[in-house]
Amino acid sequence: MRRGLRSVLTCGLVLAGCNEHRFGFFPGTESDGDTFDPSTESETAGPTLSPTTLSPTTVSPTTVSPTTVQPTITSDTETTITSDPTITATVTTEGPNECGSIVLPATVPIHQVDSLQAKGDDFSLSCGGVGGTDLEVVWTAPVTGRFQFDTMGSSFDSLIAVLDGVCFGNELACDDDGGGSLTSKVEVDLVVGQTVTLVIDSFGQSSADVVYNITQVPVVDECPDTVFDPFVPLTIDGQTAGATNVRGGSCNGFESPEIEAQWTAPFDGVFVFEVIDADFDPVLYLLDGSCQGSEMACNDDSNGLLPATAVFLLGGQPVIVVVDGVGGQAGKFVLSIHEG
């Protein structure tokens, strides 16, 4: 039986519900209440947060030793692969068509050669592959970042897809011929510890050798993701899942993706920045003036798992508000800025 696959957008949990933005701060979600306009010093209606175009941020590649993994796969055998002194992957096979039988070590880059010989037709992908021979490989991201999966170097007409989890998750990306010369490639943002299944399919039946690669892709750092209007109080919904991991705070956040917003104090005073709801373990820190500024404050777990910090700011002083996570975690949250 073929396993039909398609992309599914899951939204919700208990926060802002479904939003077209994959990650970032969601405009138009400020809470009702008094606001402060520094030009008039009078109370006005709540501001409308200006929509922004979210751009990916730079991932600093983690230096790891290149590896070529070539497991020997025979029926009802077990092969232990050691590509790194600290990483050992065990490949167990119970027949040529069992999805999940090939498990690669959690490292990058990977250059792998395998074969479609005796493989089955187990998947139909959103970009094609109906009736084609396919190969499935399980891999876990060693760091949070953006990764390229491709079949460059293969000599047959290939398709490639990345599924979330082991074999039966949602399709995260799919491509046919994007790598040139009938090869394919996709790029996917993953968090550390996230397991995916790489499906390599063929255009029609094939017994060809398969060359496939996994590499980490640097992306451009365009921080901040958005700019908040200089009002208080503000309550903004956001999501870090799908963002990249560029920085961390002194109190935590080095393994998780983060998003940033610039906010300017409307007057002299003490201001409280806090995450008041989240479906993951968040971290909150403030940078002075710009994304390259020094850290002004950092907090993790002020109220249970929710962070909060208070700082004194001069009127007109800008800060970068960073919402990050613990141990590779990411998700939805609600951020509040108000007077202390």
Tell me the C-alpha distance between 57 and 54, whole Å: 9
Tell me the C-alpha distance between 132 and 205, whole Å: 5
| Three-state DSSP state, 110 | strand
Asked whether this chain's domains 16-54+225-339 and 67-217 adopt the same fold, the reply is yes
Tell me the C-alpha distance between 270 and 267, whole Å: 9
243-281 pLDDT tens trace: 888 889 999 998 899 999 999 999 999 999 999 999 999
Provide, rounded to the nearest whole percent, the portion of the chain with pLDDT above 90.
Answer: 47
Q: How confident is the model at residue 16 (pLDDT cuts 50, 70, 90)?
A: very low
Which of 136, 162, 137 has the alpha carbon at shortest distance from 149?
162
Residues 6+ apart with CB under 8 A from 63: none
Provide, rounded to the nearest whole percent, the portion of the chain with pLDDT above 70.
Answer: 69
86-108 pLDDT tens trace: 333 333 333 334 687 899 999 99
Question: What DSSP element (H or E) covers 311?
Answer: strand 308-313
- For the chain, the first-to-last Cα distance in angstroms comes to 62
Instruction: Give 16-54+225-339's CATH code, choosing from 3.30.70.141, 3.30.70.100, 2.60.120.380, 3.40.50.1820.
Output: 2.60.120.380
| Three-state DSSP state, 131 | coil
Q: How confident is the model at residue 27 (pLDDT cuts 50, 70, 90)?
A: low
What are the sequence ranges of the domains in the chain? Answer: 16-54+225-339, 67-217
Binning the chain into helix, strand and coil, the percentages to the nearest 5 are 0, 45, 55
- 67-217 has which fold? Jelly Rolls (2.60.120)
